[in-house]
Homo-oligomer: A and B are copies of this chain.
Amino acid sequence: MDYKKRQNALIEILSGKGLDSAVILCPENVFYLTGAPFVTGSADTLLYLDRDRGASLIVWNRDYEETKDRVKGVNIEKLEVGEKPIDRLKKLAVQSERAGFEEGFVNIGIHNSFKAIFDLVPLEGAIGKMREVKDADEIACIEKAQGVTDRAFSKALGRFSEGMTEQEAASELEYCLRREGAESYAFETIVGSGHRAVYPHGMPSKKKAIGGEAVVFDFGAKVDGYCSDMTRTIFFGKPNGEMVNVYEAVLEAQTAALAAAKAGIAGKELDAVARNILNARGYGKYFVHGLGHGVGIAIHEGPSASSKSEDVFVPGNIITDEPGVYLPRVGGVRIEDMILITDNGCRNLTKSKKDLTVV
């Protein structure tokens, strides 16, 4: 990864805004700009990027060895026991007056502590915007993560059987993900069978998947810090006619969006391609979420492909195409691929088959 190039691109933005520096705390942004390791959900390392003096990472004693081993070409500041990051920041930033900050991440308490050092100016999502366009190294990482995911799913299919619980099915799928090379999961694996499939975020339960129920599997791997994201819906036993209709409708909508995706169209236009098909099939009101979202270091990032999204796709965006239909108390189907937007269309990074599958 060319971290220096990314840091320089951000410094350009700072110059344009008349800023001396930026303080960056969102761990995905810190990773994007330096490669500094993080644990999902924790914001432990602070990146101070100074127009004149470059990048400094302020790290806890605990994280020093790991950061030092993984981050090159950046000044690493190890905190002493009891020392606060803000105090070290104050020393580093003596010559900086106006600093950019992440207005969508920093809470009021931290904002107040930064305000005691700098005049603060919102970065207006600048780093998130940079992250939306993947470079070749990032595309390779995400393809690798999706390759792990495709291979794992193919192997897990041979381990599924009617009558398994959702948790048992999850255990088989995750086992295969790890064995194929997942360093962790891109998010909490979703397995929802029968009426539980209508819970878009349902955690796997002890409910058995049985009697032709549709089972939604939404899952992903993390490889080299990048996420994959994929959904397949598998029938555990022979499905009834209505759920077959739903499956075919969702697959038609998903495939149509695949064919329509390209640079220059807006998120809401791509969403409409899928939504129009589901409306025509009478299922539109049961498609209760957006068509897709960007994927990268975070499982959900820009650009958005929801029904209200004005984001216009550009080459290098990686987004999901994941329509779903959920009939309350009956069942649900979602099918999701991850695609790379290109000039004239898209490249589907997901290789797993999508024809109706019964185990």
A residues whose Cβ falls under 8 Å from a Cβ of B: 37-42, 60-66, 69, 81-82, 103-109, 111, 122, 167-168, 170-171, 174-175, 178-179, 181-185, 187-189, 198-206, 222, 288-289, 300, 307-308, 326, 328
* 16 more CB-based (< 8 A) A-B contacts, given A104-B109, A107-B107, A167-B179: A38-B201, A39-B187, A39-B201, A40-B41, A60-B289, A61-B289, A62-B200, A64-B288, A65-B198, A65-B199, A66-B202, A167-B181, A174-B174, A178-B204, A183-B204, A185-B188
Going nearest first, the 10 A-B pairs with the smallest beta carbon separation are A171-B178, A66-B199, A183-B203, A62-B289, A184-B188, A103-B108, A62-B288, A61-B288, A39-B201, A175-B175
Neighbour of A203 across the interface among B168, B171, B184, B206, CB < 8 A: B184
In contact, B181 and A170 (Cβ under 8 angstroms): no
Neighbour of A174 across the interface among B62, B178, B300, CB < 8 A: B178
A77 to chain B, nearest CB (A): 15
Cβ contacts under 8 Å, A199 to chain B? 37, 65-66, 69
Q: In the complex, A359→B69 CA distance in Å?
A: 29
Name 24 interchain pairs, CB-CB below 8 A, sorted by A: A37-B199, A39-B188, A40-B188, A41-B41, A62-B200, A62-B289, A63-B200, A63-B201, A65-B198, A65-B199, A66-B200, A66-B201, A69-B199, A103-B107, A106-B108, A107-B107, A167-B178, A170-B178, A171-B179, A183-B203, A183-B204, A184-B188, A184-B203, A184-B204
Chain A's interface: helix, strand, loop or mixed, by majority? loop
Q: Taking CB as reference atom, which chain B residue is nearest A84?
A: B308
Cβ contacts under 8 Å, A82 to chain B? 307-308
Cβ contacts under 8 Å, A205 to chain B? 183
Q: In the complex, A288→B183 CA distance in Å?
A: 24
In contact, A307 and B81 (Cβ under 8 angstroms): yes
Q: In the complex, A212→B180 CA distance in Å?
A: 25
